[in-house]
A and B are shown apart, each in its own frame.
Chain A
Amino acid sequence: MDFSEQFLQQLINGLSLGSIYALIALGYTMIYGIIKLINFAHGDVYMVGAYIGFFAITQGGLGIFPALVVSMLVTGILGIVIERLAYKPLRHAPRISLLITAIGVSFFLEYTSMYFVSPTPRTFPTLMGDVSIHVGDLIINGQQLLILGITMVLMVILTYIVHRTKIGKAMRAASFDTETAQLMGVDADRVISITFCIGSALAAVAGVLVGVYYNSIDPLMGIMPGLKAFVAAVLGGIGILPGAVVGGLILGVIEALVAGFISSTFRDAAAFAILILVLLFRPAGIFGKNTSEKV
């Protein structure tokens, strides 16, 4: 394979990985937009989603699509429960208290899962045969098609919900200014619950898809993708939905290129370097507007 083909192959790999980041980043960005919390536990919600998908397929004998739906439902409810129990009591607390709580929730999810499902990685059943498309020397395999396809469908549905439905309008209003939205009759608690539900459900999809893609899941699998997805959300402009998607895709591609052309050990470093550069030079991200603090 020559350089340009190798480049295109990495691009395809990067877009698949990036779609996963995008799905997780959407939850991050929606939650940050509405309660200004870096939900450290979001990566672990994704891990729980992967396990629920895994058990739905292996124990419940479901196919991939029903398993996705089950995982979305259960994980969505988990998101609501986490918010109600852990974050709601701190609605008016300093943001750092909220962040520490999120770190606590993250540990809690990781290690209770570890207790119940054991720390050993599980092998995700292969659901797709060796379906793959060959374009010249390029290979797009079935898992990648599945990831790209599902991600696209979910984007369309999410855009519809956010822009066309009543609850979507309430979400946008609340993320713009929660207090004013409340005065206008928006039930903030309900909107926050729904935001957590949708965000968690998207993370669950990402979890199941990663299981299908890499065939292996474990209780600490959420830590790194969680952080990366946060990077993606910051890169795109935190609080902005299309930003999270674009940020996720860019990050995925950069990582694939770094892994393919430099060294896979620098993959994580690249993501963090992007985070720091964005925070220092364009803290509002690609799509965001810079604002200054009022004294």
Chain B
Amino acid sequence: MFLALGLIVFALLQGLMAAKIIGSFWQLNITIIGINIILAASLNLINGYTGQFSLGHAGFMAVGAYVSVVLTTNFQVPFVPALLVGGVMAGLLGFLIGLPTLRLKGDYLAIATLGLGEIIRIVIMNIPYVGGAAGFKGIPHHTTFAWVFGFMLLTLFFIKNFVNSTHGRACIAIRENEIAAEAMGINTTKYKVMAFTIGAGFAGIAGGLFAHMFYIISPASFTFMQSFNYLIMVVLGGLGSLTGAIAGAFFVTFISAALASVPEFRMIIFALLLILLMFYRPQGLFGYVEITHLGPWREFFLRKERAKR
């Protein structure tokens, strides 16, 4: 059902683009929304579901971007394998970084991951092979709306099923109460690192998709300000809700595009939204709830749950 819904949305958007009802400006932005949904959903797995506050997502995105463009540009590797290798490398780095770092808690973890994301970026900046600070040029334009949409569905499908399994429940238990989670037999370190690795991996894939939209990428595209951008999406949408991540990615990308000519206003709006949200709805718009749990659908799904027994 999830896939069917996805395909309908895809067909609709693709049709509108083919019929030129959606112009090239919005076509570009819809593609970016798709990539941002992957980033927001994967960050939400770490920040929202597992409750481990990471501010280094742009760093993992950068790793995926650079690995995949080197493969496609310098080694003529096909697009999809290059993306996947980029994702795996980002995940691997996430694993190596997560293992020592995830012992830290709350705001300390936040600032440490911010620092690590910046270190990744500065290291890339100092590798002449990938163009250093000037950036990597000559990237083939492989990213299409269809690929982005496909990978977006894959990400959502993966994370949705993950959080509804015992592995995902273990992550959520850590967010809810780490000490109780341990007392219930959950290896908290293992699951924190697992969530971090998976999140980093999908960020890497998103980075690859992002990079193949342009002729050139540079380390400047992956600063911690970029990580903050994904954080805003997740916080606005809801820490612990995929619907929220989608809504957040949609909203932030849309506002950013609409207010592109007045960038100060865009950031002032986001700043005020963040602050007001923390006052009145700290769990974000959707909180821990999915759209399938709301309103008229709620009864339907509960009945389905009960019917299973």
| Residues of chain A having any CB pair with chain B under 8 Å | 37-38, 86, 89-90, 93-101, 103-108, 110-112, 114-115, 119, 227, 230-231, 234, 263, 265-266, 268-269, 271-273, 275-276, 279-280, 283, 295
Contacts and interface: CB of A to CB of B under 8 A. Distances in A.
Contacts of B53: 96, 99
B106 A86 contact: no
B282 interface: yes
Given A89-B279, A96-B106, A263-B126, A269 B116 contact: no
Contact of B119 (A86, A110, A112, A269): A269
Interface residues of B, number: 39
Interface stretch (B138-146, B187-195, B269-277): B269-277
A101 B231 CA distance: 12
Given A108-B272, A269-B123, A103 B108 contact: no
B231 A108 contact: no
Interface of B: 53, 100-101, 103-104, 106-108, 110-112, 114-116, 118-119, 122-123, 125-126, 133, 179, 228, 231, 235, 263-265, 267-268, 270-275, 278-279, 282
Contacts of B111: 38, 227, 230, 234, 275
Contacts of B100: 280
Q: Which of A107, A115, A266, A283 counts the most chain B CB atoms within 10 A? A: A107
B275 A105 contact: yes
A94 B108 contact: no
A104 B263 CA distance: 16
12 contacts: A93-B278, A96-B53, A96-B106, A97-B282, A99-B107, A100-B231, A101-B275, A112-B268, A114-B264, A272-B116, A275-B111, A275-B115
A100 B264 contact: no
A90 B278 contact: yes
Given A103-B274, A279-B104, 15 more contacts: A38-B110, A98-B278, A100-B278, A101-B278, A108-B268, A108-B275, A111-B265, A111-B271, A227-B111, A265-B133, A271-B115, A276-B101, A276-B115, A276-B116, A283-B108
B19 to A, nearest CB: 38
